Amino acid sequence: MKRISVLAVCRMALAGVAMVAGLVSLSGCSGNQAAPESTFVLLDGSKQTTADLKGKVTLVNFWATSCVTCVAEMPKVIATYNKYKGQGYDTLAVAMSYDPPSYVVNYTETRQLPFKVAIDNTGKVAKAWGDVQLTPTTYLVNKRGEIVKQYVGEPDFAALHQLIEKLLAET
């Protein structure tokens, strides 16, 4: 018999709710969880790791150019980044493995995305972050590198901004 962690069970149970409610709070299961160790390959070829997220509040957004909701929410993701970037906030957009790299580059350049964009060409990063398959799936990570909230679908940006402000105020 395969063992499943409590967090995995919570994630599976909440996944159904996420489709209806549009968001999942991991804190309802077992508190904040450390963001999984991952290496993100950015469009410029450089690499960033999960450890590099520490010290900032970071939005990690799994998306695809073919995802209608992802494209629709992107101006709000950009506005959120621009609003908080000077206060210790960052955004990392992770394109899914099935997204053609040329589409990701074109989208990033034509929309002038102001934050880091990575391509998860192997699917390894999405797998590490809870086997992300639905887009957009977004994680808010605190300054300690812990996942505070997971959103499946477009977040309520007003509530997201309140949470970002709370996390930025933490020492």
Q: What is the pLDDT of residues 63-111, one digit of tens each?
A: 999 999 999 999 999 999 999 999 999 999 999 999 999 999 999 999 9
The domains located in the chain, with CATH, are 6-169 (3.40.30.10)
d(CA 169, CA 36): 24
Q: What is the pLDDT of residues 59-76, one digit of tens each?
A: 999 999 999 999 999 999
